[in-house]
Amino acid sequence: MHLKSFLLLLLIVVSSYSGFSQSKYDSVFSETAQVLLSSNPKKALKNTDYLYKISSNNAERIKACMLRATLLRQYGLRNEAILSLKRADSIVTIDKNYNLQARINGFLSTLYRENEIYSLGKIHLQKALAVSKKIEDKNEMYKFQGNLSQEIAYYEMYDKKYAKAIEHLKNGNQLFEKASSSIDENFQFAVNDELIAKNYLSLQKIDSAMIFFQKAMTELNASQSSNSPLKGFLYNGLANVYYSKADYKNAISNYQKAEQIANESNFFALKQEVYSSLLEFYKKTDNKKYILYNEKNLELNKNEEHSRKIIADDLIKSLRKKQVENKSEYQKTTLIIIGISIFIIILIVCFNYYRRQQDYKKFKSFINKSQEIPEVQIEEKPKKEIAREYMSEATENTILESIKEFEKSHFYLNKDLSLNSVAADLNINHRYLSYVINKHKSKDFAGYINELRINYIVDRLKNDSNYLKYKISYLADQSGFSSHSRFTITFKKITGVSPLDFITYLQKENAKK
């Protein structure tokens, strides 16, 4: 793992807490991030679980997940780190915290890139860029985008587009200048300029590489982290430049300085880079020392791999144990949910059975009623107490007889039927017709017609089994209704049940017979 990548990711997580008071959460977070992450990874892993539990808001939960991902990544458990970040990502969208959302996607981009899944890495990189533009605090936005320029540069370097990588890194420096009030500007410049110098070296632009290595050294010395192991990388870079110029005296001098910092810091990535450079150097200049550093390099990688494997295995065991505990809790919860679900299902079944029985009673009641009175009866003798201010008794009786004939003709099945059209057809004044219907049928014209139509279709369903096979929309059309929904509403209002339930009941009754 490169020093700069690790330092920047750690800085992203830790710096988010600079404005918080030293509560219990903050003190545990600081201890975990600054001490336990390297000295006691197993306890650090437990602490990330503890931090998540005591979090008082989503921002704290997200930062606990990011710290956990940083720890897991440090020991090569990138897939587990990705899972932790995805958990954070599912939370961050709720609060629309664009700052954290951008950082999560930037971190995911790094992890996928390190796993050599570049397509997914680039997707999260683009998300990070897009979301970062929504960060309200401009200083935070510029700082993040400046850090992200290095991530973009790594993708360009993978594609051997060194010139483009340099362009992105220089743009990153411009962004850091805009955010200078909130960051250690010189350290950020030093990080980017060291990488710019390496890209110039890959392009064989030796003089440009020298300029940027020296520039980065000046910036690092002026920063708040002047003793950072980054200085070892800079000495190693300068040595590589002198080696390219065949200035072996200055090359070995800088290699020795880099090696001293590597040994004092015991930083694996720095040791690995310095030993690899010395291997190339001594390959041409001193065969004995080439063999010596080859052995050192092999031993370094072997020891580091062994150490990381032990820690990684220990962390994996802790993760698996936690998963087993969670699975046990999940199984208990699942059983409770299943029990409650079964109870609810039984209640629903019982309720539906009860409702079905009530519906059957309604069916029987309606059918029995319709059998006793097959059609709407007309009162031959109107009540004496109703005023006859509209017409004579003889006229009223004539209208009643006309209504009887109207009912027999099934003219009411016409969809375009209206009070005026019926009055015209019967050659009756529409006011007289409305009065007689209201008086003798105890309903207005529309209610009277709807009842006739429903009674008609009920009679068809009872006496013609073919009608039981038709769709509801066809039945609605046959009975004179303009829409399926209007027919269903009216049918249930008059009969007490829906057309579908009515048909189902009749089908069962027919099957019994």
Query: CA–CA separation, 460 vs 343, rounded Å?
Result: 42
**What is the pLDDT, as a whole number, of residue 336?**
78
Is pLDDT at 14 greater than 70 in this prediction?
no
- Asked if 254 and 238 count as a contact pair (C-beta separation under 8 A), the reply is yes
- Cα 335–Cα 340–Cα 342 angle in degrees, nearest 5: 95
Rounded distance, CA 92 to CA 38, Å? Answer: 27
Lowest-pLDDT range, 81-90, 313-322, 338-347, 408-417? 313-322
> Quick one: average pLDDT of 412-422?
87
pLDDT at 360 (0 to 100)? 64
pLDDT value at position 154? 92
Please say if the pLDDT value at position 326 is more than 60. no
Residue 445 in this model has a pLDDT that exceeds 60: yes
345: Cβ–Cβ under 8 A, 6 or more apart, which residues?
none
Q: For position 64, what pLDDT does the model report?
A: 92
How confident is the model at residue 417, as a pLDDT? 87
Query: Which of 128-132, 300-304, 381-385 is predicted with the least confidence, judged by mean pLDDT?
Result: 381-385
pLDDT for residue 102 is more than 70: yes
> For residue range 261-280, what is the model confidence (pLDDT) as tens digits?
988 887 778 888 998 999 89
Give CA separation, 293 vs 174, 246, 252, 262, 279, in Å.
Answer: 40, 20, 14, 14, 6
Q: What is the three-state SS of 291-342?
A: HHHHHHHHHHHHHHHHHHHHHHHHHHHHHHHHHHHHHHHHHHHHHHHHHHHH
- Which is more confidently placed, 232 or 307? 232
pLDDT at 210: 96
- 3-state class of 194 per DSSP? helix
What per-residue confidence (pLDDT) applies to 386?
Answer: 43
pLDDT at 410: 85
Residue 212: what pLDDT?
A: 96
Determine the pLDDT at residue 377. Answer: 43
Question: What's the confidence (pLDDT) of residue 96?
Answer: 80
Torsion sign over Cα 153, 157, 159, 164 = positive
Look-up of token digits 């029995």: 368
pLDDT at residue 171 in the model: 94
pLDDT for 253 beyond 80:
yes
Is the pLDDT assigned to residue 476 strictly greater than 70?
Answer: yes
> Residue 215's closest CA among 203, 205, 207?
207
What's the pLDDT score for residue 384? Answer: 42
pLDDT score for 18: 42
Q: How far apart are CA 57 and CA 92, in angstroms?
A: 11
Per-residue pLDDT tens over the stretch 343-389: 888 888 777 777 766 666 666 666 665 554 444 344 444 444 443 45
Stretch among 14-18, 46-50, 103-107, 286-290 having the lowest mean pLDDT? 14-18
- Give residue 204's pLDDT band: very low, low, confident or very high (50, 70, 90): very high
User: What pLDDT shows up at residue 382?
Assistant: 45
Measuring CA to CA, which residue among 255, 166, 150 is closest to residue 205? 166
Q: What is the pLDDT of residue 309?
A: 64
Which two structure tokens, joined as six digits, stand for 494?
């008059």
What is the average pLDDT value for the chain, to the nearest integer?
82
pLDDT, position 21: 39
The pLDDT of residue 320 is above 80: no
Does the pLDDT value for residue 323 go beyond 60? Answer: no
pLDDT at 240: 95
Output the pTM of the full model. Answer: 0.55
CA 205, CA 241: separation in Å to the nearest integer?
10
Contacts of 190 (CB under 8 A, 6+ apart): 216, 217, 219, 220, 223, 230, 234
